[in-house]
Amino acid sequence: MTQMPLCKVYGHVYPLSEALYAALEAAMSGCMGQETDDPALLREGDMARVSFEGIHFPEEEVIAALRTHLTPAMQGKLDCLDLENWRLTRYRFEGGEVRTSAAPLNNVLDFSGH
């Protein structure tokens, strides 16, 4: 019997530095329960792409890695869907800063017309 994912996380950041990619790899080593064999962290040229569905995603560690290595030239986002608490947290990366916003998933679905 498979367990339903408790969280889903999708995002990207670019242009990628070697230090940031290494920090993301280390931070994401704590991912648990992804049912696919696909890696949760992928490098695509100068972009890091995150795609995770599972039981636990080390959100705080990943954001700490980004805060440490983010430069003003980097941009992207990370959407963390907490299905247990029915909440979306969006992290936007721009101007060397991490900006955070959050909303209940019902509000997000209403806003998008679904």
Q: What is the pLDDT along the chain (114 residues), one digit of tens a residue?
A: 456 778 999 999 999 999 999 999 999 998 887 777 889 999 999 999 999 999 999 999 999 999 999 999 999 999 999 999 999 999 999 999 999 999 998 877 665 544
Phi then psi for residue 78, to 5 deg, are -140, 120
d(CA 109, CA 114): 5
In the sheet with 75-82, reading across from the earlier edge strand, the strands are 41-44, 47-54, 7-14, 75-82, 87-94, 97-104
The pTM of the whole model exceeds 0.85:
yes
Does residue 15 have a cis bond before it (omega within 30 degrees)? yes
